Amino acid sequence: MITCMRAFTFYSSILILFVFCISSCVDLYETRPETENTEPNTTLANIPPDGVTLRALATLTWDGEDSDGFVVAFEYSYTTYPLGKSLGDSTYHDWQRTEESSLTIAFSSPDTLNEQHFEVRAIDNSGNVDPTPAAKSFFTTQTTPPTPTISAPKNGQKCFAREQTTFWFPGITLRFLGDDIDGRITQYAWSADDGEWHWVDASETVVVVEPQDFATPLDGEHTLRVISKDDTDLIDPIGASVTIDLVVPSFEKDILILDDTREDVSIRNVPDETVDAFYEDIFGYNNNYTIDQRSLAVFSFPDLRRLGRYKLVIWHSDDSKGAFYTGNATAVSRIESYLTIGGDLILGGTNVVTPWIPVPIPNFGRPHPFEFTPGSFAVDFLHLIIGDLSAIEGTFTGATGVGEFSDVEIDPTKMNPDFPHYGKVQLVPVVLQKGGFTKDILIFKDPDPYATGHPCAIRYYGDVYDMAFIGFPLWALKHEDARRFASELLRNMGY
């Protein structure tokens, strides 16, 4: 019995000790309140120093620290005090967030001298914001707005246009430049007819304004404007503008004949009226087309509004002086525009391609064969790549037709019987290499060291315009041959 009592006392003591230990452990690991999360701290570099005067585009650098985490971003703001005005005219620029620790900032600087009070504050990973932002004060000088200029199109210029763009007509090309005397231009913006501003990078000084960008109706006067922004975000208040006349071609009439002939000894000084009547007859023979004539020796080259009324332009020069207007940049530019907008062209005569072939070298002459001037009207629109000229003494008496085209012969009574013509046509250009979508229609048939067997007339089949080039004057042909050829050519071109 005594033994049992001792055992009970022993186990009771053990149980009491165990309960005491458990109680002690609970007290030992009891939780305490969390340490409070602290805000980050922000510092500004000492460059630029306080009080310095800078350009309005200034670079500032800062840093941040957080004792119980890390900085994830910054916010900055500044207040501008124009010193020439009252303090009430100060401008506050609200906080801007950034993850950068250095920025070049375009400070608003409306007056000759402006005080800038800049602040920056760090933000930590818990979202805490530095309650005491780092600050810096300095001065900025007034900035001068940039000034753009429009180089093309010119004010008052006429430009062909159409409602839908094509490969040949993507729109109106607008070219501009700009200058900023106290900085650099960073962006340009253009608009048509006070419409939406389209901002582009400073490197993009050539843009294409599409038909839908203009106000309706498309035909008539329109205004293009350009403004610019500099590296302090200052936009010029005026900009540059031009007013242009957009011409939507009507193609309401059939044929316009442009007579670039000056009448000299090579065609035996035939009166202008005789040549005019010849061309009107051969292209009006056996059809009902409306044909208008324009003597370029009397009137200037037609403008776009006149050209745009005609489906087809026939431009010819029949004497050895050559075409005056193929060497005129304005005239060539107009006919290029006419073709790109959908007009058709027949160009032929003597020396019509002279502006685009190599000039003879003294004591050596012109190379045989030669390359037409790359990028010229001859290459890009007439599709003449490599060519040659027949001899300086007349050798051309006619040509062999290709396909649906008949053979043709000249009328020697129409030509100068003396040197260098001898009743034939001299210096006829032939084509050794032509562009794509182009076919031969007449082949030089006479014995000649440079021209025999090569095409002296070609036809270009285009998706926007059709063209025929004839390397000799049609006036030199026998009248019936000229009539037949003109009819075949008109039919081939869809007339």
Tens-digit pLDDT string for the chain (495 aa): 444 444 444 445 554 555 444 444 444 445 555 667 899 999 999 989 999 999 888 999 999 999 999 999 999 999 999 987 655 678 999 999 999 999 999 898 888 899 999 999 999 999 999 999 999 999 999 888 899 999 999 999 999 999 999 999 999 999 999 999 888 999 999 999 999 999 999 999 999 999 999 999 999 999 999 999 998 888 988 999 999 999 999 999 999 999 999 888 788 888 889 999 999 999 999 999 999 999 999 999 999 999 999 999 999 999 988 789 999 999 999 999 999 999 999 999 999 999 999 998 888 889 999 999 999 999 999 999 999 999 999 999 999 999 999 999 999 999 999 999 999 999 999 999 999 999 999 999 999 999 999 999 999 999 999 999 999 999 999 999 999 999 999 999 999
Q: Provide CATH 2.60.40.10 ranges for the chain.
A: 41-141, 147-247
The two structure tokens encoding residue 317: 């020069």
Cis peptide before 48 (omega within 30 of 0): yes
CATH architecture label of 147-247: Sandwich (2.60)
Closest CA to 178 of 188, 193, 165, 164: 188
> What residues have CB less than 8 Å from 219, skipping those under 6 apart?
161, 246, 247, 248
Selected from 3.90.1150.10, 3.40.50.300, 3.40.50.880, 2.60.40.10, the CATH number assigned to the domain covering 253-492 reads 3.40.50.880
Alpha-carbon distance of 445 to 455, in angstroms, equals 9
> What residues have CB less than 8 Å from 147, skipping those under 6 apart?
178, 179, 180, 228, 236, 240
User: Residue 66: its pLDDT value, please?
Assistant: 95
The two structure tokens encoding residue 56: 């309005």
The structure's pTM equals: 0.77
Q: Provide CATH 3.40.50.880 ranges for the chain.
A: 253-492
In this structure, are strands 102-106 and 57-65 parallel, antiparallel, or unpaired? antiparallel
The two structure tokens encoding residue 54: 């800078």
**Burial of 410 (C-beta count, 10 Å sphere; 0-12/13-18/19+):** buried
Q: Is 349 helix (H, G, I), strand (E, B) or coil?
A: strand
- Output the average pLDDT for the chain: 92
CATH architecture label of 41-141: Sandwich (2.60)
The residue behind tokens 């019987």 is: 417
The two structure tokens encoding residue 57: 């585009």
